[in-house]
Structures are given as C-alpha cells and as structure tokens.
C-alpha cells in the first residue's frame, strides 16, 4: 500500500513537471527580428543626436575658454600696468571646415601661438598663455584673419570692437564679441548668416 502511494506521488510530480516544461515557450524568430529592428531604429536616432550634443558642448567650451582668456588679458593689462594682447589665428592654408587654430596672450605687440604653424603650441611666443584647438575637437575658428586684440592698461579698454566667429562640425554657429570697454561675451552674429548652420541656443545677438 505504501509503495503504491509513493508511486502515485512520483507519477503526479513528473506529470506536473512535464506540464510546466510544456508551458515554457521561447521567442520565435519573428519576435526576435522585430526586437532587433526596434533596437536598430532607436540606435539610428540616438547616435546622431548624441554626436550633435557632444559637438555643441565642445563649441560652448571653446567659446567659454576664449571669453575667459580675453578677460584674463584685460585683467593682466590693468594688473601689470602695461598693454596686453590676445592673439588668435587659424592654421595657414586651412579652410573654415578645418579645426586647427590657437590663441595666446602676450605683453608684446603680437605673438604667434604656433610659430611653426603645425598645430602644436610648444613653440609659442605667447608668454602669458597659449591654448590649442586640440582641446576643443570639432570647434572651428571661421576666419583667416589673425586677430590681435590689445587691452589698454589704464582702463582695460580695446578699440575697435571685435567679433570672433566660431562654428562646430555639427553646424552650430556662434561668436565671441569684445566691445570697446573690453568686455567679452558669447553671442550670435546679427544678422545670422544664411547657410551657416543653426544658432547656438540661449544666446543673444552680438549687436
């Protein structure tokens, strides 16, 4: 009798186990293909947006660096009681689509932030400070003109007002404007140039 009960329980256990295993179903091939397709669509949307965000942030960082070091040049002029020059240039022969540029700060009438014009700054003649575009990959200085902005030691003023144009490889556009009082700020060109991309958000017009 006892053996029959054990056999009956064993049979019931195996039957239950078999029923549970039969209820467990995997993904079909169609379901897997649908999931892969959805992931592919999301990825194709997210990656370009992420790249654009990175380029926008690098452009902002470049603009902020230029603005801060223009103020540094102004402060040093007043502090040292002698004129200080902020000099910025793009590598000779590169176009606006190139991103090799540099700037420096000096007490001389001008300086070369890249003496050999090779993108390096180890040979700079700017003795106070030198910064290379290598720190801001994708940020572009949009003019061939070498800008030497001199700050007067008496009041930290400069003349004339200067607008330094920048853009990113993801087609954002913005400038750094230095007024005659020597104040620098990030801003948008006015009027905004046609065909030069999107305005960097949350900035006012330069003039």
**Considering the domain boundaries, does residue 31 fall inside one?**
no
Are the beta carbons of 198 and 173 closer than 8 angstroms? Answer: yes
CA proximity to 144, closest of 188, 182, 109, 97: 97
Number of domains in the chain: 1
**Considering the domain boundaries, does residue 174 fall inside one?**
yes
Each residue's pLDDT, cut to its tens digit, for the chain (207 residues) gives 545 444 454 455 455 455 555 555 566 778 777 778 787 777 666 556 677 788 889 999 999 999 999 999 999 999 999 999 999 998 766 665 567 899 999 999 989 888 676 656 667 889 999 999 988 988 999 888 889 999 999 999 999 999 999 998 877 999 999 999 999 999 999 999 888 788 988 899 998
Global pTM?
0.75
**Considering the domain boundaries, does residue 34 fall inside one?**
no
**Considering the domain boundaries, does residue 1 fall inside one?**
no
Q: How far apart are CA 81 and CA 153, in angstroms?
A: 5
| β 84-90/184-187 pair status | unpaired
**Considering the domain boundaries, does residue 8 fall inside one?**
no
**Tokens 């009956």 sit on residue:** 8
Tell me the CATH number at 177. Answer: 3.55.40.10
Widest CA span of the chain, in angstroms? Answer: 113
User: What pLDDT is stored for residue 104 in this prediction?
Assistant: 95
User: What pLDDT is stored for residue 204 in this prediction?
Assistant: 94
Range of the domain at 96: 56-199
**Considering the domain boundaries, does residue 179 fall inside one?**
yes
């Amino acid at each position: 009798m006892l053996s029959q009960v054990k056999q009956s329980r064993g049979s019931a256990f195996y039957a239950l186990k078999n029923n549970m295993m039969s209820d467990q179903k995997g993904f079909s091939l169609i379901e897997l293909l649908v999931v892969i397709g959805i992931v592919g669509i999301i990825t194709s949307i997210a990656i370009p947006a992420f790249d654009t965000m990175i380029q926008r942030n690098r452009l902002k960082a470049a603009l902020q660096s230029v603005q801060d070091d223009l103020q540094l040049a102004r402060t040093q002029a007043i502090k040292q009681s002698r004129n200080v020059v902020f000099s910025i240039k793009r590598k000779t022969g590169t176009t606006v689509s190139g991103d090799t540029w540099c700037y420096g700060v000096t007490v001389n009438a001008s300086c070369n932030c890249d003496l050999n014009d090779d993108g390096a700054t180890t040979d700079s003649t700017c003795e106070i400070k030198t910064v290379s575009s290598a720190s801001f990959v994708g940020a572009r200085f949009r003019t061939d003109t070498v800008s030497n902005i001199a700050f007067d030691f008496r009041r930290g003023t400069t003349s004339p007002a200067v607008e330094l144009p920048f853009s990113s490889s993801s087609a954002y556009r913005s400038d750094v404007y230095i007024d005659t009082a020597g104040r620098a700020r990030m801003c948008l060109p006015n009027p905004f140039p046609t065909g030069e991309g999107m305005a960097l958000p949350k900035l006012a017009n330069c003039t």
